[in-house]
Structure 1
Amino acid sequence: MLDVIDLTKVPAFLLILVRVTAFFVTLPLFSYKNVPTPHKIGFSFFLTWVMYYTVDIPIVVINETFLLLILKEAVVGLAIGFIAYLILSAIQIAGGFIDFQMGFAIANVIDPRTGAQSPLIGQYLYTITLLFFLAVNGHHLLLDGMFYSYEAIPMQQMATGLGNDAVASYVIETFNKMFIVAFQMAIPIVGCLFLVDVALGIVARTVPQLNVFVVGLPLKILVSFVVIFISFGMFTILMRELFELMFVSMRDVMRLMGG
């Protein structure tokens, strides 16, 4: 058995395992609490075993720099997975904008995937987005990005770009783009509800006998659902742009971290 296993490549196997496991800590879909922890560990080990025979494995010696390589692999996996998670958070931000205008902001629910509070409409849109993401095999592209990360950041090379300000600047720019996409998703509903508020204000001034607070909330909910149904085609286009932004951001972060 010892003749079959090349013990000189065991440190390289550990480095691959650290990067893959760090990916799954923050990567969308794979990091959610719905996935049992033993399944995450088993899938990480299985994927590491597959990548062990497909990635160019250098000879890694356990010395004083091996711990730095392990820390580098963990940071690379966490950073790239966090960028993907950050982009998909635009759905929750857009849902928060919509819920605030609809009056649903006081009725948050617990997201079973993350364990945090989530707006109602944001939870609905996020679920639709994840189903669409799985339908177009986006999770396969995430795994491909994990595999091709070794081309941008080789295993035996230190991530020289981590000490560069370009990585932090790019993360801030990506954060800004995420808010722009969230605003684009929410603006049809928020804009229509703003017009409804203006109309209710005019009615309140012209017909003081009418209780606007009683009529306004059901009317805004009705208008919101109608506009969501009408603008759902545009929402799918924005989802495609969001996925493209996520994959491009992951690629650019890998290039910047690789120096």
Structure 2
Amino acid sequence: MIALHFGFGALEAEFWRLVFVMTRIAAALLAAPLFGAMTVPPQVRVMLSGAVAVLVCAWTDVAAPPSLLSLDGMLSVANEALIGLTMGFVLQFSFAAPVIAAEMIGGGMGMSIATTADPVSGAHSPALGQYFSVVLTVLFLGLGAHLDWFSLLVESYRTFPPGTAWFTPGRMQLLTSFGTQMFTTALVIALPVTLLLMLVQIMTGIISRSAPSLNLFSLGLPAGVLAGIAALIVSAPLLTDRLTDLSETAITQAAAMLER
């Protein structure tokens, strides 16, 4: 009797290779601030991961471990997930800087209590933080920085093929140094507005000492809010430049993680 063989073994091996490649991409999309948002359905992330994985499988010679369920295979999958999470987490530092700056500005304006539920992260954030995040997102997408990030994600398979040592203590130190840059950038963004708010608070304190009969809260809070809004309007061009540089910094930091 002649047994028919349809050659499904090669197809199954290609399928597991695609799944293995999708691990790094899916982890990066999950950790990225835009694609990992709660408003993005998981089905969309899976389809996007599969589409990018098909391109990676066609452009590179990435090979899946012989047995994914073995100890070596599970360690390889964990390493791929760690690389992807790091590539996405680098962007989180850049997108967190405007939110920290908004906390500083909101505290000076007396609008710290003006918090709303952020539909992107699901947490409560200041109203100014959502405004800064929207502006940064528009600039990030408008400049095509997301395409550069996808390019770096694909390039990571050539620079660091699966199975190679990657996440060394030196790269952990490099990742933590990005946190320092995040706080520095947040301070630079909030500095013009906070300086003006500090002058308004000093003037309010002088007036309250000169005329103790005046109600400090009824005078200082409206003055701080109006001064903060005026400072935000005046510094809007500067804010756009800072957020544009922040988008470039995000891609530069992601590229620095791929350097040997």
Q: Give TM-score scaled by structure 1 length.
A: 0.91
Q: How many residues align?
A: 253
What is the CA deviation profile of residues 32-80 of structure 1, one whole-angstrom value per residue up to 9, with x for unaligned ones? Answer: 0111122222222222223221223346422542221111101100111
The structure with more radius of gyration: 2
Asked if the contact 1:19–1:74 (Cα under 8 Å) also holds between the matched residues in 2, the reply is yes
How many Å separate the matches in 2 of 1:33 and 1:2? Answer: 41
Determine the structure 2 residue equivalent to 1:134: 141
Structure 2 CA distance for aligned equivalents of residues 36 and 9 of structure 1: 26
Aligned match of 1:189: 193
For 1:34, the equivalent position in structure 2 comes to 39
Are 1:146 and 2:146 matched, yes or no? no
- Within 1, Cα distance between the matches of 2:34 and 2:10? 33
Change (3 A) 1:150 1:223: same
Moved over 6 A (4+): none
Structure 2 counterpart of 1:25: 30
3-state SS of paired residue (1:65): helix
Superposed counterparts of 1:120-131, under 5 Å: 120-131=127-138
Q: Give 1:225's match in structure 2, choosing from 222, 226, 229.
A: 229
- Residue type of the partner of 1:232? A
**Which of residues 90, 104, 109 in structure 1 aligns to 2:111?**
104
The answer on whether the counterparts of 1:94 and 1:185 sit within 8 Å (CA) in structure 2 is yes
Match of 1:57 among 59, 62, 78: 62
Q: Following TM superposition, by how much is the alpha carbon of 1:212 offset from its aligned partner in structure 2, in angstroms?
A: 2.3
Q: 2:178 aligned with 1:174, yes or no? A: yes
- Is contact 1:80-1:254 (8 Å) kept? no
Q: CA deviation at 1:151?
A: 2.3
**Residues of 1 paired with 2:176 and 2:48: CA distance?**
32
Q: 1:237 aligns with which of 214, 236, 241?
A: 241
Give the SS at the match of 1:34: coil
Q: C-alpha separation between the residues in 2 aligned to 1:212 and 1:64?
A: 67
Contact 1:11–1:60, Cα closer than 8 Å, also in 2:
no
SS for the counterpart of 2:61 is coil
1:174 aligned partner, one-letter code: F
Letter in 1 for 2:242: L
Q: Give the TM-score of the pair, scaled to structure 2.
A: 0.91
The one-character-per-residue Cα deviations of 1:6-51 (angstroms, maximum 9, x if unpaired) are 4444443222111111111101210001111222222222222232
Task: For 1:241, give the aligned amino acid.
Answer: D
> Identity over the aligned pairs, expressed in percent?
25
What is the SS of the residue equivalent to 1:53? helix
C-alpha distance in 1 between matches for 2:41 and 2:125: 21
Alpha-carbon shift at residue 5 of structure 1 (Å):
5.3
Q: Amino acid of the residue matched to residue 176 of structure 1?
A: T
Decide whether the 8 Å contact of 1:9 with 1:57 is kept in 2: no
What is the deviation of 1:243? Answer: 1.4
Alpha-carbon distance between aligned partners in 1 of 2:128 and 2:59, rounded to the nearest angstrom: 42
1:194-250 deviation digits (Å, cap 9, x = unpaired):
000100111111122322210111111111111111111111111122112211211
- Greater CA drift, 206-215 or 74-83: 206-215
CA distance in 2, matches of 1:46, 1:39: 11
Q: 1:8 touches 1:60 (CA, 8 Å); kept in 2?
A: no
The one-letter amino acid of 1:45's match is G
Q: Show structure 2 runs of 5+ residues with no match.
A: 1-5
Shift of the alpha carbon at 1:145? 1.7
